[in-house]
Structure 1
């Protein structure tokens, strides 16, 4: 689409939204300033660089064998740069501890700041924030399916030290980059069949977390978050870190709660949980993903739930309390394309929410005028928001529409196919 047509369409759309009381310029500014934390593990199928030959565990599985997976930190950063060139607005990068960048062989409880200095230097060059995750899976000391809740104190202590070390790295990111690093703790702990004792592992988990998080770190640089899961492969009957456990833990320890869109019953939606959780925890972290038959971590679509998540954040004015991150890994398609599709869909959903006549809809509801509420909500779906999206891409110098796919195909032929 030519620039003149994009601008003309935008001006016409802006007039339509103005009639509805929507400030399009403010929506554009908000979208541009709202960072999306893009997960590095889409680029290499969650292998990492600590020991790429280590078998995946913890219920994690990336399926497919598409060409060109990154096998070094340099390749991964190169691939992410390509994806970022096709995505407008602010971006962050979410790292797991296994994405260590060093020539040394380092055990996880011994990771240090200097092992991630190349990531920090790269983030500075590209004006990116960095987030972090301790990696409590794909390791011999996680082979029993238990880590921080393990009955063996030595194993618990190992993982406690890993979380402590990860917190210092996360704090380092925040200090160096001038934006707090969100460090999310997810563990695979659970059991394949019904346990006789559901309480003791949760007592051990709470105690381990208390020890790991005991040191106070300024939230200007680092934020702790905990993430629940309903079940996983090998943990079908019981998960130690349930939603109730982590909601209670986050609320009583004054840390952040992470809600993953794929970690609940198939009919449960995190969009419905956001407002409730906001009453009891100060800040939340989201892992926006697409479950298909539960937690399959498909590439984010512009589907009903993704739109509902963004509407809940915008309608309840929670953008300053909710950090938006992505979490998916698909090895059956071009990995750069997966990043671009998923991130742009999350941004589209956020833009559509920002362009909704929220105040008019809420006013109708408060007046018990549910007819108007429904009518305005449904009409918003067909409002000319796509013209505003195209304009956002245009002014951010990224391809409009599907034009980005040509760049990805060229990169595949020239870079990925040579690996």
Structure 2
């Protein structure tokens, strides 16, 4: 049968439960996923005085075709975006500045150093998000930045974060949609600290100085991101979840939850509804931790489905800013973007096709038998037929046909790179 015929059969099954697929499609078309640029070049960036990757971050693998220039990275992103339904954003780190051969330290970065990215985004109808880069730098060699005991080092990173917020504001003004500027730092200690409080007081003071500088909130949204531990900070991280959750709530900033930044038995899906009670908006970095914050490519596993469900059934599509954060150098990088982003969108469509109001009613009535039975039965409803039709309607390849395009791109473009 054709994609349309399969879809029509599936549609009948969902509609008997009052699910409107047309409404689901309209909601999904308006979802913007922020696709991280650093999957394409293994977080190398384009700084003239490029540093070795550090800050508890590691990328493994040496698959050929890594982007080595801004033009190559943008070309690879364009290819991935052509295979992903919807209109999205691209998330940049400060190390992706273009300085025309001039050495510009991070505290001196300006909007002009990202003008090429803005022009490219305009051409492709994209938004841009931003992150200051507080790793892979001589002033972060000992694993401390905004919480460093040395005021001169703290001031350097404070200046960098202030400049980053101004760059985010520039993105929002030029592209007509607000940027999300997210602060993540690697600060922590490898072994048991003798003082947990003082570094956190310094971090709070640094953040206060960063956010004291006025930036138009209609053009730029500020977010702070926590972490449980990392390589080199196994015993203690200054910016813990509790620290940033408290700071964000008290200072009207977004709290960004990275799915790889928690204890292995903790799940971000369970935090979304709790956070939204107290915050108007929430930000996510969706990744896949296998053992720790290993940033594997996102797959359509139970947790991703639960994240999609929590966003959809709590009517939070407009409240949760969805970003991705994974980097795998052992596979084709364009394919990694495509797999991960398509799966994120799939999780939302899966959630939109459930009779969520009916399932909520069953729970309120205490009818847990019907609730469990239906939640399980819907796992084998013909979701794939609906997804295929959505992709066809959105003008992107259906099923695994996108892989043929990636292979052709690899043969013609990626294989020519040294």
- TM tier relative to shorter chain: over 0.9
Deviation, structure 1 residue 280: 2.1
Residue by residue over 1:335-362, the C-alpha shift from the partner in whole angstroms, topping out at 9 and shown as x without a partner, is 0000000001111111001111100100
State the partner residue of 1:101: 98
**Partner of 1:224: helix, strand, or coil?**
strand
- Output aligned runs, 1:77-226, within 5 Å: 77-103=74-100, 104-226=102-224
Runs of 5+ consecutive residues of structure 1 not aligned to the other structure: none
Contact 1:357 1:380 (C-alpha < 8 Å) held by counterparts: no
The answer to whether structure 1 residue 312 and structure 2 residue 307 are counterparts is: no
State the partner residue of 2:7: 10
**Partner of 1:194: helix, strand, or coil?**
coil
The answer to whether structure 1 residue 69 and structure 2 residue 66 are counterparts is: yes
Runs of 5+ consecutive residues of structure 2 not aligned to the other structure: none
Residue by residue over 1:274-319, the C-alpha shift from the partner in whole angstroms, topping out at 9 and shown as x without a partner, is 1111122221110110000121000000000000011011111111
**Partner of 1:93: helix, strand, or coil?**
strand
**Partner of 1:223: helix, strand, or coil?**
strand
Contact 2:35 2:91 (C-alpha < 8 Å) held by counterparts: yes
Q: How many angstroms apart in 2 are the aligned matches of 1:119 and 1:59?
A: 27
Deviation, structure 1 residue 10: 1.3
State the partner residue of 1:392: 390
Q: How many angstroms apart in 2 are the aligned matches of 1:26 and 1:132?
A: 32
Aligned length: 416
Deviation, structure 1 residue 52: 6.9
TM-score normalised by L of structure 1: 0.98
State the partner residue of 2:353: 355
Cα RMSD of the aligned pairs, angstroms, is 0.9
**Partner of 2:378: helix, strand, or coil?**
helix
Which of 300, 303, 317 matches 1:302? 300
Residue by residue over 1:211-251, the C-alpha shift from the partner in whole angstroms, topping out at 9 and shown as x without a partner, is 00112333221000000000000000000000000000000
Q: How many angstroms apart in 2 are the aligned matches of 1:224 and 1:65?
A: 34
Deviation, structure 1 residue 106: 0.7
- Output aligned runs, 1:28-47, within 5 Å: 28-47=25-44
Deviation, structure 1 residue 72: 0.6
Which of 220, 230, 233 matches 1:232? 230
TM-score normalised by L of structure 2: 0.98
Which of 284, 287, 295 matches 1:286? 284
Contact 1:130 1:181 (C-alpha < 8 Å) held by counterparts: yes
Deviation, structure 1 residue 51: 4.1
Contact 2:49 2:103 (C-alpha < 8 Å) held by counterparts: no
Q: How many angstroms apart in 2 are the aligned matches of 1:234 and 1:186?
A: 16
**Partner of 1:164: helix, strand, or coil?**
helix
Contact 1:254 1:282 (C-alpha < 8 Å) held by counterparts: no
